[in-house]
Amino acid sequence: MAIKNHLLNPKWLSLDEAVKKREHLRQKGASLILTNGCFDLLHSGHIYFLNNTAALGDVLWIALNSDESVTDLKGSSRPIQNEMQRAYNLAALECVSGIITFNSRRLNSEIQALEPDIYSKAGDYSLETINKEERRALEVAGTKIVFIPYLEGHSTTELIKKINHLD
């Protein structure tokens, strides 16, 4: 029996659904951690980052770049997996509680709508290198910004290069 091109994913939320769930989290006193990325080929660097990010608070949500956004950021050969596949893979991780897809290069409006308690990026970023508009939106929301140490040699780009050089 063939599986249709639909991967059921109860963790994949619209922004409206996420805003409602965020309000419920506030009422319960639960902290929301937000991170974002393409997560094109889920690998050990991602898992390390997400597990450590989830440990910062109660609930981890990922703002996932849409296919259009990934192509805009990474070029015409990306994404390798479509957003439905990438969201499905992320949802399989116990540490991930929710996934929101965004279409723009930046997630200012998502930050403004969700007002996360904590925002996490990998340690290859810093306060000086994260997007200034996103940083301002996080500051206005009163969000704590945390950087998780980066695992050298564990990136999608490096993985793609390795795959392309296999004989």
- Dihedral-angle region of residue 153 (phi above 0 means left; psi in -120 to 50 means alpha; beta otherwise): left
pLDDT digits (tens, 9 = 90+) for 83-130: 999 999 999 999 999 999 999 888 999 999 999 999 999 988 999 999
More reliable by pLDDT, 27 or 160: 27
Asked, as a colleague might, if the bond just before 79 is cis with ω within 30 of 0, I would say yes
Q: Whole-prediction pTM value? A: 0.89
Checking if the pLDDT of 153 tops 90, the result is no
User: Where are the chain's structural domains?
Assistant: 12-164
Q: Which fold has domain 12-164?
A: Rossmann fold (3.40.50)
pLDDT digits (tens, 9 = 90+) for 137-151: 999 999 999 999 987
Q: How far apart (Å, rounded) are the C-alpha atoms in residues 62 and 100?
A: 6
